[in-house]
Structures are given as C-alpha cells and as structure tokens.
C-alpha cells in the first residue's frame, strides 16, 4: 500500500512537507507517457524509502536537489 511506502520514505526525510514537495517534483521528472501517474508516484516513494540517505540520492541525481517555487 502507498501508506507503507510513505512511512518508509519518512524514515529518510523527516519533514512531511519536504517529502511531499520532493515526491511531486520527482514524479513530474520521472513520469513516462502512457503510464499511470500513481505508478510513477509509487516508484518515487520506493526510491525514497530504499535510498540509504537523501544526500546519497542527490549525489546520484535520482532525486531533485531543490524545490523551485514560482510566483502565481
């Protein structure tokens, strides 16, 4: 279930807001056409939970480094 993946990812990223932002950005980056967005999101959460540390993931470019905000 996705809730298990979220709790696994929270072990690596303690800030829930940051996890949400990083998950959304990574989902947009890794999404492939003709696939479900939900499946892409699940894969991203699995990457977060399986990665030893956020810094290690950033070094391998699997997870975006920063969240860019734009004015509305």
| Mean pLDDT per 10-residue section of the chain, whose length is 72 residues | 79 83 90 90 87 57 48 48
pLDDT at 6: 81
pLDDT at 56: 55
pLDDT at 49: 82
Residue 36 to residues 1, 11, 46, 63, Cα–Cα distance (Å): 16, 26, 16, 20
pLDDT at 25: 92
Q: Is 22 exposed, middle or buried (0-12, 13-18, 19+ CB in 10 A)?
A: buried
């Amino acid at each position: 279930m996705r809730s298990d993946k979220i709790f696994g990812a929270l072990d690596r990223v303690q800030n829930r807001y940051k996890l949400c932002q990083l998950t959304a950005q990574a989902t947009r980056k890794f999404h492939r056409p003709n696939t479900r967005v939900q499946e892409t999101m699940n894969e991203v959460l699995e990457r977060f939970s399986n990665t030893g540390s956020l810094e290690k993931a950033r070094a391998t470019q699997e997870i975006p480094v920063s969240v860019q905000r734009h004015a509305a």
